[in-house]
Structure 1
C-alpha cells in the first residue's frame, strides 16, 4: 500500500519489485511507481477513505470562529495542513498583499501543527507576518482537534502545496463537508477536484492565479 514515499538512493525501486501487487493511493503515486520501472499491470489505484463519523455537517462553524477571534461576517480562507515548507504557506503569504487589497473582509488561517524539525519554519512565517503588518488578518491556529467545526468555519479550504500531494486527505474531508476548495493542478488534489464544479485548480506556484481563484470564490 503506497502513499508516495520518496525513493532514497534507489531502495524503493528494489523494494517495489518484491510484492506481486501494489496499491497506490492516487494515479499520481501510481505514475511515480511505474516511473521506477515497476510494470503498470502490477499497480492499482485505491483511494484512501476518511472517517465520515468525524465529519459532522451540523458542526457549529460560527462558534468555532468566535473561539478563534475570527469575525462572523468575514471571508475566512484556511490552509489546512502541517506547517512544513512544501505545504505552501509562504506561497499564500506571497499572495496576501494583493488579496487584502482586493478583499477587505478577508482573513487567512493556517490550521495545522508544526513538527519539531520545522519549528524554525514556523518562526520564519510568524516573523514575516509581523514584518509585513499582517497580524490582524493572518491567524496561526496550530493543531485543530475539531476538524468538522474548522471546515464549517471556513468559507474556502485551500491547498497551496509546492510539491504534488500523493493524495491530500484534507481535500477529501473538505469535500465531505461540502466546503468550496482551491488546490494546485497536480498530484492528488487534481484528481479529487473537478475544476469549476467541486472546486478550483490553479497552476502550481502561480501567485496571480491563486489570487484570482480566491477572489472568484469570494464573488460566487
Structure 2
C-alpha cells in the first residue's frame, strides 16, 4: 500500500492511512504528507471464565471498535473505504462501510481459508483486488460475493535497485571477503519460509565453492524463536557459523541484493505472491523459488528463474551450480526476469490499474444515487 500511495497522483486521490499501533510505516506515510490515524484497540482478554472472557472480548474488540469506526469514518466523510489486509481481518470495517453506504475496495493478499462470515461479508464489497492469480482462484473456490474481482499485481520501482552500490563496502560491513560468492534468502524467519532447506543447500554447495557465504535476512517473532534456535544450532553443528550469517531485519534490501550471486525463495507452503522476488528481479539477481503459489506467476512458470520442489535442498543446490557454471544461462534468465518485471510488475502499472478501479467504483456509486 505504501508504494501505491507514494506513486499515486495526490491531485487525483487524497489518502488517509489507518493503523492499529505506531510502527515503522507511520512516519514514512507522514513524510509523504498522508494523514495517519491510530485506531484504538484493546488486547484480547485471556483470563477468567470462558463465557465472561468471550463476552468482554466481543464488547471491547468488536462492539467498541465498530462504534469508534462509525464515528471516525462518518466525521471524515471519506469517498471510499480501502482495506489493505483482506476481509479475513476486516469484517468490522466492511460492516461500517455497508452501514454508511460507503464504497468498499478490499485487497486479498493471502490464500485464506474463509469462513461463512467472511464470504457473507464479501457481498458488501464493491471490488476485491487479488494480488496474484493463486489468490484469485482461491477466492473463486470459496465463492466470493464481491460485486467485482480483479487481479492487480503489486508493483515496485526498479530504479531503487539500480545503484550504484559499494559492493566491497557492503561485504566488509557484514564481515565477509570481497571476493566471496553469496547466496541469500530474505523473509521473516518462520518454519514455512523454508530457511532450513536453504541451509541444506548451502551444506552441499560449500564443498564445491569454499569462498561461498550464505545470508539469512529477516526478523523473527517470539513464536518463531524455537525455529530460529534450531536453525542456529544446525549451522553451528555443521561448522558453518562463520559462513552462514543471520542478519536479522534490514532496511537496506537493494544494497544487500547487489552482493547476491543467487537469491533463494524456499517457502514450503504456497506463497500468496512474493514481493521479495520482484526486488531480486529489479536487482538483476538470478532466482530460485519453490514451485507453487505466486512464484509460478512471477517467474513465468520457470522462464525467468528456476522453480524447484518444496523441502528440497539438493535441487536448490543443483540450480545454484547451474547459475554459477553457465554464464549465458544466468545472463539470459536475469534479462528475461527484468523485462518481465518492467512489463508486469512496475509500480506505475499497479497505480494506474488501482486508480481505474477506484474511479469505476466511484462512478458506480454515483449511478446508484
TM-score (norm 1): 0.90
- Figure out how many residues of one structure are paired with residues of the other and give that number: 220
Aligned to 1:4: 110
Distance 2:223 2:160 in 1: 29
Aligned to 1:201: 307
Distance 1:43 1:94, change over 3 A: same
Distance 2:146 2:299 in 1: 24
Distance 1:162 1:98 in 2: 19
Q: After TM superposition, list the pairs within 5 Å mapping 1:117-136 onto structure 2.
A: 117-136=223-242
Distance 1:88 1:54 in 2: 27
Distance 2:111 2:294 in 1: 14
Asked whether 1:67 is paired with 2:173, we answer yes
Unaligned segments of structure 1, at least 5 residues: none
Contact 1:7 1:13 in 2 (8 A): no
Instruction: Please state how far the C-alpha of 1:217 moved relative to its aligned partner.
Output: 1.0
Aligned to 2:60: none
Query: Relative contact order (alpha carbons < 8 A, sep ≥ 6): 1 or 2 greater?
Result: 1
Distance 1:103 1:16 in 2: 52
Contact 1:79 1:89 in 2 (8 A): yes
Cα deviation, 1:119-175, whole Å, max 9, x if unaligned, reads 222122111111221112111111111111101011111100111111111101111
Aligned to 1:105: 211
* One of 76, 84, 93 as aligned partner of 2:182: 76
Aligned to 1:155: 261
More deviation in 38-47 or 209-218? 38-47
Instruction: Please state how far the C-alpha of 1:4 moved relative to its aligned partner.
Output: 0.6
Distance 1:7 1:119 in 2: 26
Instruction: Please state how far the C-alpha of 1:214 moved relative to its aligned partner.
Output: 1.0
Contact 2:296 2:307 in 1 (8 A): yes
Contact 1:102 1:215 in 2 (8 A): no
* One of 296, 306, 317 as aligned partner of 1:211: 317
Aligned to 2:77: none
* One of 180, 183, 186 as aligned partner of 2:292: 186
Contact 1:193 1:199 in 2 (8 A): yes
Off by >6 Å, runs of 4+ in structure 1: none
**Structure showing greater Rg:** 2
Partner-residue secondary structure (3-state), 1:65? helix
| RMSD of aligned residue pairs (Cα, Å) | 2.1
TM-score (norm 2): 0.56
Contact 2:270 2:294 in 1 (8 A): yes
Distance 1:51 1:12, change over 3 A: farther
Distance 1:10 1:90 in 2: 36
Unaligned segments of structure 2, at least 5 residues: 1-106, 327-369
Instruction: Please state how far the C-alpha of 1:10 moved relative to its aligned partner.
Output: 4.5
Distance 1:58 1:168 in 2: 25
Contact 2:119 2:145 in 1 (8 A): no
